[in-house]
């Protein structure tokens, strides 16, 4: 028995704890899904009451500093809680069955803070005046979001967002050992979820300074996240992932591996 298993609360022997963990996972997933849908409207400038370019406009530097702090909070939470070392420490105090749901919930709350407190910088960098071209660019952005969502399903959407873990715990089953798989998009790029985000963020018929700041910082963070994630994947899957990395491009389909 490992040290983390020794100190981690075990809910599998307690039916009430299993039910509570399951309900907690459902709530965390609901918060994520609502936030994800809102984020699509926020970035695309559609439907939602507050978008990346709407709201009270303040001094440019002040707005940029606030926005950078908000993105930094999300990035730090997202990266630190995803690391193996943090998970080993964290699961000494919380059940492993809700570790992923807790990560999802915290990430969603960090994103909610960003969406809520974002300061627009509406100065236009470029604008597409032709309505047909603007519609096509918006369609490309929505295609990026579709790639993000479908990429989660081809691996295991419900495990990625914690539902599989709490459902298995409710049924008294252990989670299976992780298997290295490369379905669909993953045969062409190693990180289709990140590719979808990049497409969604940069395909904008109207690009303001605020939107450009968001796209540039999040893209830079994506590359940092890839480095951290691939280090963990190599530690988990070893030579299988090393060979995959040599064979398949990071983000650009059919490009030589990078």
Q: pLDDT truncated to tens, each residue of the chain (258 aa)?
A: 233 333 344 455 688 999 999 999 999 999 999 999 999 999 999 999 999 999 999 999 999 999 999 999 999 998 898 888 888 898 888 889 999 999 999 999 999 999 999 999 999 999 999 999 999 999 999 999 999 999 999 999 999 999 999 999 999 888 888 888 899 899 999 999 999 999 999 999 999 999 999 999 999 999 999 999 999 999 999 999 999 999 999 999 876 666
Q: Would residue 109 count as lying in a domain?
A: yes
* Per-residue b or e along 40-57, where b marks 16 or more CB atoms closer than 10 Å to that residue's CB: bbbbbbeebeebbbebee
Q: What pLDDT, on a 0 to 100 scale, did the predictor assign at position 13?
A: 60
Q: What pLDDT, on a 0 to 100 scale, did the predictor assign at position 132?
A: 96
Residue with tokens 């798989």: 181
Within the chain, where are the H helices? 3-7, 15-44, 60-82, 84-90, 99-117, 131-155, 157-160, 163-170, 192-202, 209-237, 239-247
What is this structure's pTM?
Answer: 0.90
Parent domain of 72: 3-247
For the stretch 30-66, pLDDT in tens is 999 999 999 999 999 999 999 999 999 999 999 999 9
**How far apart, in Å, do the first and last CA atoms of the chain sit?**
39
Q: What pLDDT, on a 0 to 100 scale, did the predictor assign at position 108?
A: 97
Contacts (Cβ under 8 Å, ≥6 apart) of 111: 35, 39, 74
Q: Would residue 198 count as lying in a domain?
A: yes
Q: What pLDDT, on a 0 to 100 scale, did the predictor assign at position 84?
A: 82
Q: What pLDDT, on a 0 to 100 scale, did the predictor assign at position 256?
A: 64
Structural domains counted in the chain: 1
For residues 72 and 87, give the distance between their C-alpha atoms in angstroms, rounded to a whole number: 21
Q: Would residue 255 count as lying in a domain?
A: no
Q: Would residue 258 count as lying in a domain?
A: no
Q: Would residue 253 count as lying in a domain?
A: no
For the stretch 79-116, pLDDT in tens is 898 888 888 898 888 889 999 999 999 999 999 999 99
Q: Would residue 256 count as lying in a domain?
A: no
Token pair for residue 237?
């899957």
Q: Would residue 41 count as lying in a domain?
A: yes
CA of 163: how far to CAs of 4, 25, 100, 103, 221, in Å?
22, 6, 8, 12, 26
Q: Would residue 170 count as lying in a domain?
A: yes
Q: What pLDDT, on a 0 to 100 scale, did the predictor assign at position 5?
A: 34
């Amino acid at each position: 028995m490992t040290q983390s298993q020794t100190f981690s609360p075990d809910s599998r022997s307690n039916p009430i704890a299993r039910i509570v963990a399951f309900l907690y996972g459902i709530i965390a997933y609901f918060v994520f899904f609502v936030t994800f849908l809102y984020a699509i409207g926020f970035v695309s400038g559609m439907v939602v009451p507050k978008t990346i370019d709407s709201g009270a406009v303040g001094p440019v530097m002040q707005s940029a500093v606030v926005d950078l702090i908000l993105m930094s909070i999300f990035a730090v939470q997202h990266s630190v809680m995803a690391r193996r070392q943090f998970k080993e420490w964290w699961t000494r105090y919380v059940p492993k069955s809700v570790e992923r749901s807790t990560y999802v919930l915290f990430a969603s709350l960090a994103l909610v803070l960003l969406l809520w407190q974002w300061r627009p910088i509406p100065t236009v960098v470029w604008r597409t005046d032709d309505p047909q071209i603007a519609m096509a660019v918006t369609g490309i952005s929505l295609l990026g979001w579709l790639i993000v969502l479908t990429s989660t399903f081809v691996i295991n959407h419900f495990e990625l967002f914690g539902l599989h873990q709490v459902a298995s715990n409710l049924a008294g089953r252990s989670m299976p050992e992780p298997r290295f798989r490369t379905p669909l998009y993953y045969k062409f790029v190693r990180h289709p979820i990140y590719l979808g985000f990049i497409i969604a963020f940069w395909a904008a018929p109207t690009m303001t300074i605020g939107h450009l700041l968001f796209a540039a910082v999040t893209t830079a963070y994506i590359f940092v996240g890839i480095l951290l994630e691939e280090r963990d994947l190599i530690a988990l899957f070893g030579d299988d992932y090393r060979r995959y990395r040599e064979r398949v491009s990071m983000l650009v389909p059919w490009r030589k591996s990078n």
